[in-house]
Amino acid sequence: MRMQKQTETTELINTKRNFKWDEPTVKSIIRDMGLKVTQQRMIILKCLLSGRDHITAQELFEAVIKKDPSLGFATVYRFLKQLTEQDLVTEVRMGGLPARYEWAKKKKHHDHLTCKQCGAICEFENQQIELLQKQIAKNFGYILTGHILELYGLCPSCQKEEGLLPIGDT
Amino acid sequence: MRMQKQTETTELINTKRNFKWDEPTVKSIIRDMGLKVTQQRMIILKCLLSGRDHITAQELFEAVIKKDPSLGFATVYRFLKQLTEQDLVTEVRMGGLPARYEWAKKKKHHDHLTCKQCGAICEFENQQIELLQKQIAKNFGYILTGHILELYGLCPSCQKEEGLLPIGDT
DNA sequence: AGGTAAATGAGAATCATTTTTATTTAGATT
DNA sequence: AATCTAAATAAAAATGATTCTCATTTACCT
Ligand SMILES: [Mn+2]
Ligand SMILES: [Mn+2]
Ligand SMILES: [Zn+2]
Ligand SMILES: [Zn+2]
């Protein structure tokens, strides 16, 4: 979660939460999905909306059981899947690691640059790359329906503290 | 596995097997890895080298037990991991699906364009994208160490036969 | 041929995710 | 407000890919 200057075509993504997630708003998100408004869904959604970006199902579950220890993790997975299917959250999968989720609504498409050392994630979008991808698909006669672009590297602070820290968060 | 015209900066990758994988060659690959030359490693490697690209561990295992039904799948996984660690094979992971492996030696870096419908895979490399990736990382102050770029779409033949065929191979 | 570290097979373990099932509940309908 | 029913839940088992453990076997250096 560190940002710096950018080329004209690469833009940073607003990671801010500039909408109010009050009770009625959260309720109507669930209702608009065509689902019943349950206490567990309210809790899960609130935790998702107010928690960190790129959260894992496990992390979300841990946040959720602080509010209701009886809530099951299958419910978290189930609801996350529904949110993903309805494109309200984006599922980010890197390698064999657990999937990470982020609220997609009101946040445009973007890709990720992740620090291998500490896990810090930068979000970006580069129009030139997006365009080149379309051209490549076209050259092969394909209709492009999606893509995954994940960059991996060493973040500035991990470059200094060369080598020996635990894999942490954001 | 379908190829068409390309822009100057996007090149197709040779998917041909233009080297001879005779007994002594296969043996020395294993020996050069600093490993003992066992019958199971010979079999696994031969199957890998002569089989399809982007093979899964399971598929490789199935090919392997045709030559030696007693060979265990842990041995396949183990050896694949060692090959991956020594950069002799590349591990391609997409989403939560099983990893796929391909012989990396004598084949330059490339990315993949996969048909969502039938699984057909095109390989490409685009120098412009590679360059842009480096710039993006640099703009964030990161040192780029790797990337995953996977494009998804509908291949030409699946565009015709709209919709209803089983998920096949390559 | 003998010694030993490395390799193997079989199966258990792990880890993320999904499915199953019996029970509860939201919300529509009296 | 009481009743109904499809949908939702918790808990636990199942799944599927991959890794690990460990007792046994084997490659290869003397
Ligand atoms: Mn993101
Ligand atoms: Mn490939
Ligand atoms: Zn870092
Ligand atoms: Zn296809």
Q: What is the CATH number of the domain that holds B27?
A: 1.10.10.10
The residue among B81, B105, B129 that closes a domain is B105
Judgement on whether residues A25 and A96 belong to the same structural domain of the protein: yes
Residue B101: give the domain boundaries. Answer: 20-105
Q: Which two tokens stand for residue B10?
A: 């996007």
Closest chain B residue to A97, measured at CA: B96
Are B4 and A140 contacting, i.e. CB atoms less than 8 angstroms apart? yes
Which whole number is the average pLDDT over B46-74? 95
A96 touches strand D (CB under 7 A): yes
Q: Answer whether residue A107 shows pLDDT above 80.
A: no
Nearest to B140 among A113, A128, A147 (CB): A113
Judgement on whether residues B50 and B114 belong to the same structural domain of the protein: no
Judgement on whether residues A86 and A128 belong to the same structural domain of the protein: no
- CA angle at A139 for the pair B159 and B1, rounded to the nearest 5°: 65
From the CA of A2, which ligand is nearest?
3
Q: Which two tokens stand for residue B61?
A: 């295992």
**Chain D nucleotides with an atom closer than 7 Å to a protein C-beta:** 7-13, 16-21, 26-28
The residue among A75, A105, A135 that closes a domain is A105
A40 CA from centroid of ligand 2 (Å): 43
User: How big, in percent rounded to 5, are the helix, strand and coil portions of chain B?
Assistant: 35, 20, 45
Backbone phi and psi for residue B147, each to the nearest 5 degrees, phi listed first: -160, 160
The residue among A56, A81, A105 that closes a domain is A105
Distance (Å) from the alpha carbon of B82 to chain A's nearest alpha carbon? 17
> In the structure, what pLDDT confidence band is assigned to residue B96 with cuts at 50, 70 and 90?
confident
- CB-neighbour burial class of residue B85 (10 A; exposed 0-12, middle 13-18, buried 19+): exposed
pLDDT the model gives residue A106? 61
Tell me: the pLDDT tens digits for A55-104? 999 999 999 999 999 999 999 999 999 999 999 999 988 778 899 999 98
Tell me: the pLDDT tens digits for A1-46? 334 444 456 777 765 555 678 999 999 999 999 999 999 999 999 9
* Residue A114 CB partners (closer than 8 Å, separation 6+): A94, A120, A121, A122, A150, A151, A152, A153
Judgement on whether residues B58 and B129 belong to the same structural domain of the protein: no
Residue with tokens 């990382």: B137
Judgement on whether residues A97 and A115 belong to the same structural domain of the protein: no
Judgement on whether residues B61 and B80 belong to the same structural domain of the protein: yes
Residues in chain A: 170
- Rounded Cα–Cα distance for residues A119 and A114 (Å): 6
Closest chain B residue to A141, measured at CA: B156
pLDDT the model gives residue B15? 59
Are A96 and B91 contacting, i.e. CB atoms less than 8 angstroms apart? no
Domain count along chain B: 2
Judgement on whether residues A133 and A95 belong to the same structural domain of the protein: no
Judgement on whether residues A158 and A94 belong to the same structural domain of the protein: no
pTM above 0.85, yes or no: no
Judgement on whether residues B79 and B93 belong to the same structural domain of the protein: yes
Judgement on whether residues B32 and B82 belong to the same structural domain of the protein: yes
Tell me the one-letter amino acid at A106: K
From the CA of B141, which ligand is nearest?
3
- Rounded Cα–Cα distance for residues B168 and A152 (Å): 31
Which whole number is the average pLDDT over B40-61? 95
Q: Classify strands B143-154 and B111-115 as parallel, antiparallel or unpaired.
A: parallel
Judgement on whether residues A93 and A27 belong to the same structural domain of the protein: yes
| Least confident among A17-21, A112-116, A135-139, B144-148 | A17-21
Closest chain B residue to A155, measured at CA: B142
Answer yes or no: do A145 and B4 touch at CB < 8 A. Answer: no
Are B120 and B114 contacting, i.e. CB atoms less than 8 angstroms apart? yes
Starting at the edge strand found earlier in the chain, the sheet holding B55-56 runs: B55-56, B100-103, B89-92
Closest residue by Cα to residue B112 from B157, B160, B54: B54
More reliable by pLDDT, A82 or B167 = A82
- CB-neighbour burial class of residue A170 (10 A; exposed 0-12, middle 13-18, buried 19+): middle
Give me the CA B139–C1' C19 separation in Å, rounded.
45
> In the structure, what pLDDT confidence band is assigned to residue B84 with cuts at 50, 70 and 90?
very high
A93 touches strand D (CB under 7 A): no
> In the structure, what pLDDT confidence band is assigned to residue B146 with cuts at 50, 70 and 90?
confident
Q: Is A135 on the interface with B (CB under 8 A)?
A: yes
- Best-predicted range by mean pLDDT (B18-27, B30-39, B138-147): B30-39
Judgement on whether residues B33 and B90 belong to the same structural domain of the protein: yes
**Cα separations (Å) of B9 from B12, B30, B41, B79, B125?**
10, 36, 38, 35, 8
Q: Is B160 on the interface with A (CB under 8 A)?
A: no
Distance (Å) from the alpha carbon of A168 to chain B's nearest alpha carbon? 17
Q: Using an 8 Å CB-CB cutoff, list chain B residues near A116.
A: 145-146
Q: Using an 8 Å CB-CB cutoff, list chain B residues near A93.
A: 95-96
Query: What CATH code is carried by the domain that includes residue A141?
Result: 3.30.1490.190
Nearest to B4 among A129, A139, A147 (CB): A139
